[in-house]
């Protein structure tokens, strides 16, 4: 039974992560990006320290901030946040 729960949570996490379209907005791509943010050859953003990203980080301009899970900030505003798939899904939950 424990393995079923583990599998369920693993699949749920993957489904949540797969919603992201990698626009980079929540990481500052459109204003003062996090130093860990990179852009790949397809124009998608990714974090070079994704597995260890939570906690204090720096932006390119030297501002300190705490990286947190997206669900903790998607009620806030950032530049071009209308691109965020998580925000769109929250407003229109039937669209995944």
pLDDT above 90: residue 12:
no
Q: Could you read off the pLDDT of 20-76 as tens digits, one per residue?
A: 999 999 999 999 999 999 999 999 999 999 989 999 999 999 999 999 988 888 888
Chain CA centroid to CA 60, Å = 18
In angstroms, the CA 89 to CA 75 distance is: 12
Helix (H) or strand (E) holding 10: helix 2-18
pTM: 0.77
The pLDDT value recorded for residue 36 is: 97
Average pLDDT over residues 10-23: 89
* Phi, psi (degrees; rounded to nearest 5) at 6: -60, -45
């Amino acid at each position: 039974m424990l393995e079923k729960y583990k599998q369920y949570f693993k699949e749920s996490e993957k489904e949540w992560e797969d919603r992201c379209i990698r626009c980079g907005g929540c990481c500052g791509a459109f204003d003062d990006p996090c130093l860990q943010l990179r852009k790949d050859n397809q124009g998608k953003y990714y974090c070079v320290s994704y597995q260890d990203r939570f906690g204090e980080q720096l932006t390119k301009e030297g501002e300190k901030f705490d990286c947190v899970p997206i669900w903790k900030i998607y009620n806030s505003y950032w530049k071009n946040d209308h691109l965020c798939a998580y925000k769109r899904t929250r407003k229109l939950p039937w669209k995944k």
